[in-house]
């Protein structure tokens, strides 16, 4: 396995259009679909250089080595999008305090509070022009709650977070450009690595990719460990940054068992061990 510094050197060569792919002795090559993801690692947008490359991007994985025009992601016009946050009643006050911090890069924030006994349709509780607050019962079905958030979105894209998740302002601003890139290339769903920080320590459940930036028409499926419904060819992973997921060891001990109770066999009980273990690159 290559050391991280070696990987970065190879990736930089790829993005600098150096002849990394030309030499038989090199450790790897990539197609245009993979190149798009690699480019995001360095703040770049990869655009197919010709019609054949464009076809390969729409129908991965092909046999052609990547040929792409590379520009800074910041050169792309930003696409407005909304942030959707699911939370419990107990978490609502803290979420509302944090939501205002997203004003520099988000067009709107929609908070959806899990309130038992509410009607089947989300009920609006507040709107200050930037943050809108609704309530809707989760009823033990996470995909349904995410879909309720998607339906409340008034922009073309929504980025969903849980109450115990956050991202940096720099990544938030980059997401506005990634949405533009996706629209140009026919993608509807973008995944990001998630850092699970258990008592502040990065756990071994990494990169734990979460597809949370989706066009508003995309819906989720799954009672627990929900995921967007789309063909994978219309999605890609961005390496521009990571979602930070803040957990306590006590919560981890309860989490998988609670999910298993909601969907027997689908709780991913094996994840508890990975979450309790410190991250190792080996």
Question: Of 73-82, 160-169, 247-256, which range is least confident?
Answer: 247-256
Alpha carbon of 94 to those of 165, 187, 247: distances in Å?
A: 12, 33, 15
Contact status, residue 43 vs residue 73, Cβ threshold 8 Å: yes
Angle formed by the axes of helices 51-58 and 32-40, nearest 10°: 80
Which pair of structure tokens corresponds to residue 66? 């990547």
Name the helix (H) or strand (E) containing 161.
strand 157-162
* Confidence at residue 16, expressed as pLDDT on a 0 to 100 scale: 59
- For 189-219, what is each residue's pLDDT tens digit? 999 999 999 999 999 999 999 999 999 999 9
Contact status, residue 137 vs residue 118, Cβ threshold 8 Å: yes
Compute CA 193 distance to the chain's CA centroid, rounded to the nearest angstrom: 7
Q: What are phi and psi of 85, to 5 degrees?
A: -125, 125
Architecture of domain 81-246: Alpha-Beta Complex (3.90)
Round the CA-based radius of gyration of the chain to a whole number and report it: 20
What are the helix and strand counts (H, E) for the chain? 8, 16
pTM greater than the 0.85 cutoff: yes
Whether 70 shows a pLDDT value over 90: the answer reads yes
- For 12-59, what is each residue's pLDDT tens digit? 666 655 444 444 455 567 999 999 999 999 999 999 999 999 999 999
Question: Of 129-133, 251-255, 258-262, which range is least confident?
Answer: 258-262
Mention every residue, 6+ apart, whose C-beta is less than 8 A from residue 78: 173, 176, 177, 179, 180
* Confidence at residue 22, expressed as pLDDT on a 0 to 100 scale: 44
CA gap 171, 243 in Å, rounded? 9
Q: Collapsing DSSP states into helix, strand and coil, what is residue 135?
A: strand
Residue spans of the domains in the chain: they are 4-75, 81-246
């Amino acid at each position: 396995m290559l050391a991280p510094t070696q990987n970065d050197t190879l990736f930089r060569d790829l993005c600098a259009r150096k002849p990394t792919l030309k030499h038989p002795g090199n450790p790897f090559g990539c197609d245009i679909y993979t190149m798009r993801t690699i480019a995001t690692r360095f703040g770049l947008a990869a655009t197919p250089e010709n019609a054949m490359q464009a076809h390969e991007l729409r129908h991965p994985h092909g046999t052609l080595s990547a040929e792409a025009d590379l520009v800074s992601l910041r050169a792309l016009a930003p696409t407005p999008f909304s942030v959707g946050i699911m939370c419990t009643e107990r978490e609502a006050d803290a979420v509302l305090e944090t939501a205002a911090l997203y004003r520099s890069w988000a067009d709107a924030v929609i908070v959806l509070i899990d309130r038992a006994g509410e009607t089947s349709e989300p009920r609006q509780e507040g709107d200050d022009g930037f943050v809108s607050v609704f309530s809707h019962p989760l009823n033990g079905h996470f995909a349904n709650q995410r879909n309720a958030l998607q339906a409340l979105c008034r922009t073309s894209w929504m980025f969903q977070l849980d109450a115990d998740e956050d991202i940096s302002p720099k990544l938030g601003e980059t997401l506005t450009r990634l949405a533009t890139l996706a629209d140009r290339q026919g993608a509807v769903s973008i995944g990001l690595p998630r850092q699970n920080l258990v008592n502040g320590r990065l756990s071994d459940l990494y990169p734990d990719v979460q597809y949370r930036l989706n066009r508003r028409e995309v819906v989720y499926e799954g009672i627990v460990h929900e995921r967007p419904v789309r063909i994978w060819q219309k999605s890609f992973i961005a390496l521009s940054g990571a979602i930070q997921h803040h957990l306590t060891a006590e919560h981890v001990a309860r989490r998988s068992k609670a999910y298993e109770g909601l969907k027997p066999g689908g709780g991913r009980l094996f994840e508890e061990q990975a979450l309790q273990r410190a991250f190792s690159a080996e």
